[in-house]
Each structure stands twice: as C-alpha cells, then as structure tokens.
Amino acid sequence: MMSTQGLQMLASPKINSERLWASLMEMASIGPSPNGGSRRLALSNEDLDGRRKLLDWAELLGCTWQTDQAGNMFIVHPGHDNNLSPVAVGSHLDTQPLGGRFDGVLGVLAGLEVFRTLNEQGIKTRRPLVLVNWTNEEGSRFAPAMGGSGVYSQRLSLEDFRAARDKDSITLGEALDESGYKGSLTRHDLPLAAYLELHIEQGPILEKKGLPLGIVSGVQGLRWYDITFTGDSAHAGPTPMEYRHDPLMAATGFIEAMRQSVRDDVDGISRLTIGDFQVAEPSRNVIPGAVTLQVDVRHTDENALQQLDDTLRTHVKAFAEREGVSADIRELWHMPVTYFDASLVEDLSSAAQALGYPPFRMMSGAGHDAVNVSYVTPTAMLFIPCRGGISHNEREYAEPEHCAIATQVLCDALLRTANRE
C-alpha cells in the first residue's frame, strides 16, 4: 500500500471554480423563488428533484450511494482501503420557503466538486470519502431543524423525527415514505471517521473583516421556546383598563424586558429573536384571550445561555402576574454550545495557510448539521462571507471567488484527513 506521505505528495489537485459555480446555479434553477432565491422545502417535490440532480452528477462519477432511516443520502468515493471508515463532507439541499442559493447547497456541491476533481486526476485517498446530504436541516417545513443529522447522531429519536407535521398536517414520516429515499440503515451501519462542512457564514463578521474564509471552532448554543400568555377575552369598549386580564400586554411587556436584558450584555454576544407572534382569534375591538410567541435565545457560553433561560422565565412570570394572566413556557429545543475537533480545525487552518489565506478562527452563530455529527465523530466547519451577512433570504449571495477558495481549502483538508494513518 502507498504510504500516507506518498498519497499526500500526489494529492494537490486544483478544483474547477467555473464548474463549481455552474453547478450552484443549476441547482438554484430547481425550485426557484420569485426574486432569485430558492424554495426546496424538505421532502417537497423540489427537494426530491434536487436530490435526483445530485445523484445524476454523482453517478456520472461512478459513485455508489445509500440512504439511512432518516433519508440522509451518503454518496461514496472509494479509497485505497475501503474497509476503513470514510471521511465525510456535506451539508443540505433543503431551503427556507424564500431561501437563498448557497445556504447548505454550497457545502454539498463543494463536496461534489472535490469528488469530480479527484476523479479527473485519478487520485484516491487512503480512506474512502462520503458526500452527505442531510434531510430537513432547515426545519422550515418540519420542526425541529437539523432533523436528519439528529436521527443519525441519535440526539433526536426516529419516532419524533417522523412524527413532525407540516402546516398541511402531513407528517415527515409520510413524506419520507413516499419520497423513495427512506432507507433501513443507521449510524452503526454508516460510521464516519470524521466530518467536514463548508457553509456560508450567515452573518457579517467575515465580510466586515475583509476575509475570504473563516475556520469554525464551534457553534453557539441556543434554546427555542413557545410561550403562551392566556387571559380573558372581552369587549374593548365596556371593559375598564384596570379590570382587564390582557395577555397581549403581558407578551409585549415580556418582549421589551427581555430585549433590554439582552442589550445589557456588555459583550454583545447574547441573542434574542421573536420569530412569531400569534393572537388567538384576533379582532380590533376584542381584548385577546391568548397570545403565543416563538422565542429563540443564543449565546457562545453555556452558563450564560442558562442565565438567559433564567431571565426569560423570570420575565414571563413577572409580566403574567402584572396583567393577571397565566403563562405557559414550552422549551422545544436546547442545543448546547458545541466545540469542534481540534485536529480537524488545525487541518483546515493548515490548508488555508498553505494557500496563503489567514486561518481566522470564529464561532458560528447558527446551528448546523455539524453540531449533531460532532457528538458521534470528529467534526469541523469552514465559513465563507455572504453579502451583507444576509441569509434565509432570496438576496443571499456569496462571491464565486470565495466559493472557489473555500472549496480548494476543503479539498486539501479532506486529503490531509483521509490520508492520515
């Protein structure tokens, strides 16, 4: 068998930047949204068309593929020793309802470009490589997000994954069964030696610093809540202000108090988002009977995230009491702060430095499939800037040059990792 040193000496292929960009634009033509973005909700017809396109490209390379119980797709590029666990690269093809052309899809098609490049130059790594397309990363059709990688890592049960419903009451399990991508395999049938993921930053830091890429050392933690304030619905005219039990006033008081608590964070790291605000049976001249909020809080320190949770619960209780209403807090998701594998972070850093790019290290503000995967195998991520820090939006944009630079770094890091003894 060729030595690792010999394999790495041969492994300096240059990716085809024009082909990478063309593939990104061709995938974007599947499920286009009205203003130049993409709409491929998980397991929708558009998502299935995107999966089929990916497989068409992979099959031209002679790659084999299989799926697991969550419909995650694993596309295999053989190595010199296929008895070894593979090194994986990937992300997701599903999008937000009015999403962009790069979120997730860049990581998948960058991996495809690496496979194409290796094929063209007849390069095999010591370990096989696997390109993964994770199911339902976005959580926009079925909640929670990062579902497929959650099942793979066993951080989400298959039963809960399949039970998730969309707005039309279709379960994820029903959609998966009809898709043709439901497999029978589990993580134990598809073990990974390591996992690398390329993604747009989805924030402004790299652009503000004028950097073409960032090495992601970890991901900030988050908690998702549904909070419902319930009071007494009554006529707006005859009911004096002092006799009201108004859940809307409790909700708005809570929001402003929580916002101020987050703004008091001197480091500016805390995050608060009210993603939805629903008044039950709204009417202009009726005091609402119930109000439900969808709340997202985040921080890069787990202790600080717990303090945000404590603060949230204190504010909910205080404003419910002030308005004489009841309150219910349902925590839907807790993703702890995640730190990635030091050796893989170093592989990405070394690959960037070798190409003349500063290995700027950063924490991710968004959750990714890499978070779940990091619980079961060594994992790291690579970011590129996105214009204005905008994503989950049709205006999302990444520069072709940055896509190419990061894909080259990804390729070189994969070769380092997959050729390691």
Q: Is the predicted pLDDT of residue 269 greater than 80, yes or no?
A: yes
Could you read off the pLDDT of 334-387 as tens digits, one per residue? Answer: 989 999 999 999 999 999 999 999 999 999 988 899 999 999 999 999 999 999
Shared domain check, 127 and 258: no
Last residue of a domain, one of 335, 364, 399: 335
Q: Return d(Cα 402, Cα 212) in angstroms, integer.
A: 6
Q: Return d(Cα 316, Cα 229) in angstroms, integer.
A: 9
Shared domain check, 209 and 243: no
Domain residue limits at 42? 4-220+337-418
Could you read off the pLDDT of 215-268 as tens digits, one per residue? Answer: 999 999 999 999 999 999 999 999 999 999 999 999 999 999 999 999 998 778
What's at 241, amino acid-wise? M
Shared domain check, 169 and 25: yes
CATH number of the domain bearing residue 277: 3.30.70.360
Shared domain check, 373 and 329: no
Q: Is the predicted pLDDT of residue 6 greater than 50, yes or no?
A: no
Q: Is the predicted pLDDT of residue 279 greater than 90, yes or no?
A: yes
Shared domain check, 42 and 183: yes
Could you read off the pLDDT of 93-118 as tens digits, one per residue? Answer: 999 999 999 999 999 999 999 999 99
Q: Return d(Cα 76, Cα 85) in angstroms, integer.
A: 11
Q: Closest Cα to residue 125, out of 74, 87, 75, 73?
A: 87
Shared domain check, 86 and 20: yes
Which whole number is the average pLDDT over 272-297? 97
pLDDT at res. 8:
41
Shared domain check, 229 and 208: no
CATH number of the domain bearing residue 87: 3.40.630.10
Q: Closest Cα to residue 377, out of 101, 68, 91, 152?
A: 152
Shared domain check, 385 and 330: no
Last residue of a domain, one of 278, 311, 335: 335
pLDDT at res. 318:
98
pLDDT at res. 9:
41
Shared domain check, 351 and 242: no
Last residue of a domain, one of 335, 360, 389: 335
Shared domain check, 37 and 109: yes
Q: Is the predicted pLDDT of residue 74 greater than 80, yes or no?
A: yes
Shared domain check, 131 and 25: yes
Q: Using a pLDDT cut of 70, give the percent of the chain over it.
A: 97
Counted domains in the chain: 2
Shared domain check, 185 and 51: yes
Q: Please, which pLDDT band fits residue 171 given cuts at 50, 70 and 90?
A: very high
Q: Is the predicted pLDDT of residue 1 greater than 70, yes or no?
A: no
pLDDT at res. 365:
87
Could you read off the pLDDT of 36-45 as tens digits, one per residue? Answer: 999 999 999 9
**pTM of the predicted structure, to 2 decimals:** 0.85
What sign for the dihedral angle of Cα 92, 177, 128, 51? negative
Which whole number is the average pLDDT over 304-326? 98
Q: Is the predicted pLDDT of residue 7 greater than 60, yes or no?
A: no
Going by C-beta distance under 8 Å and a sequence separation of 6 or more, which residues neighbour residue 273? 295, 296, 297
